[in-house]
């Protein structure tokens, strides 16, 4: 079963134009194993090390950027000073929990945006990000 997953991941990486190296395969499996995820470089690095894949922090950075360039994941700008990567590249939006700095997918379908302004001349909309910032309710 593990071999099969590796093969799938190899294929996926290859289709994205990336050589399926040990580290890339391992990171991709960690990233895509559990559905949509929002993670920081630090988190993924720790996961990898814990999972027995002693990849370096620099490689995690490089790999995540390569995945991003390949369109496999997306960068989330929810907070200055910390880069979050989103394993779901489709159109959806996010909750951001202040304090715990958690990112959650918004239940999709619910939210709709009406009357998006026309972009300035010569510009087009690349993406619309909606971030719903949450705080713990005063009891």
Partner DNA sequence: CTGTGTGCAAACTCTTTGCATAAGT
Partner DNA sequence: ACTTATGCAAAGAGTTTGCACACAG
Site size toward a copy of itself, by CB under 8 A? 42
- Tell me which of 7, 69, 82, 111 binds DNA, using CB under 7 A: 82
Binding to a copy of itself (CB under 8 A) within 48-77 occurs at 75, 77
Q: Tell me, what DSSP letter sits at residue 12? A: H
Q: Tell me, what DSSP letter sits at residue 75? A: E
- Tell me which of 58, 77, 104, 111 binds DNA, using CB under 7 A: 58
For the chain, give the longest Cα–Cα distance.
53
Segment contacting a copy of itself by CB under 8 A, of 13-21, 28-36, 49-57, 127-135: 127-135
Antiparallel, parallel or unpaired: β 74-76 and 84-86: antiparallel
The two tokens of residue 131 are: 């971030």
Distance CA 96, CA 94 (A): 6
- Tell me which of 80, 100, 115, 118 binds DNA, using CB under 7 A: 80
**Residue 113 binds a copy of itself, judged by CB under 8 A:** yes
């Amino acid at each position: 079963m593990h071999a099969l997953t590796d093969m799938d991941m190899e294929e996926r990486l290859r289709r994205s134009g990336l050589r399926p190296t040990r580290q890339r395969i391992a990171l991709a499996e960690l990233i895509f194993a559990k559905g949509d995820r929002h993670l920081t470089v630090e988190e993924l690095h720790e996961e990898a090390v814990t999972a027995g894949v002693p990849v370096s922090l620099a490689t995690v950075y490089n790999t995540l950027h390569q995945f991003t360039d390949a369109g496999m994941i997306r960068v989330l700008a929810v907070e200055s000073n910390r880069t979050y990567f989103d394993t779901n590249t489709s159109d959806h939006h996010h909750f951001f929990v202040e304090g715990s700095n958690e990112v959650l997918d918004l239940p999709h379908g619910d939210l709709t945006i009406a009357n998006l302004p026309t972009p300035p001349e010569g510009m087009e909309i690349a993406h619309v990000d909606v971030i719903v910032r949450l705080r713990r309710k005063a009891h």
